[in-house]
Amino acid sequence: MLRAAAGSVLYLTLIALFGLGVATVVRDSATAVGVVLGLLYLFPALILMVADAGRQRLLWQISPMNAGLAVQATTDLATLPLGPWTGLSVPAAWAAAALLGGGLSFWMRDV
């Protein structure tokens, strides 16, 4: 239970950092909100439209919302495509990529 609670806080922090990176890249708050929420909510809906189970599982594993929320699971951990902490590393990678892109675009444009 402690892992699920602490992991939820870490997940939300990573999503906030991802949003910060995207906002720095696009330099518009409305566009950043649209991109982040679109990725978080539309991408999992599109995954359900994929017919191939193998591809659907792969897309589930790289989806920041689906993989990140695996840290909240407290039962049936063996049925998850990713483990709890491995799943949390997916939104961490998305956040790192967005922050790197945001830092590079900020450095190129504004410095």
Return averaged pLDDT per consecutive 10 residues of the chain, 111 residues in all.
Answer: 89 95 94 94 91 90 86 77 85 96 92 71
Return the structure tokens found at 53.
Answer: 């189970």
pLDDT of residue 89: 92
Indicate whether 98 belongs to any domain: no
**CA 81: distance to chain centroid?**
15
pLDDT of residue 40: 92
Indicate whether 10 belongs to any domain: yes
Return the structure tokens found at 40.
Answer: 């978080």
Indicate whether 39 belongs to any domain: yes
Indicate whether 8 belongs to any domain: yes
Alpha-carbon span 71 to 3, nearest angstrom: 7
Alpha-carbon span 19 to 11, nearest angstrom: 12
Q: How many domains does the chain have?
A: 1
Range of the domain at 5: 1-75
Alpha-carbon span 88 to 102, nearest angstrom: 21
pLDDT of residue 69: 82
The sign of the torsion formed by the CA atoms of 84, 22, 101, 59 equals: positive
pLDDT of residue 80: 77
Indicate whether 97 belongs to any domain: no
Indicate whether 64 belongs to any domain: yes
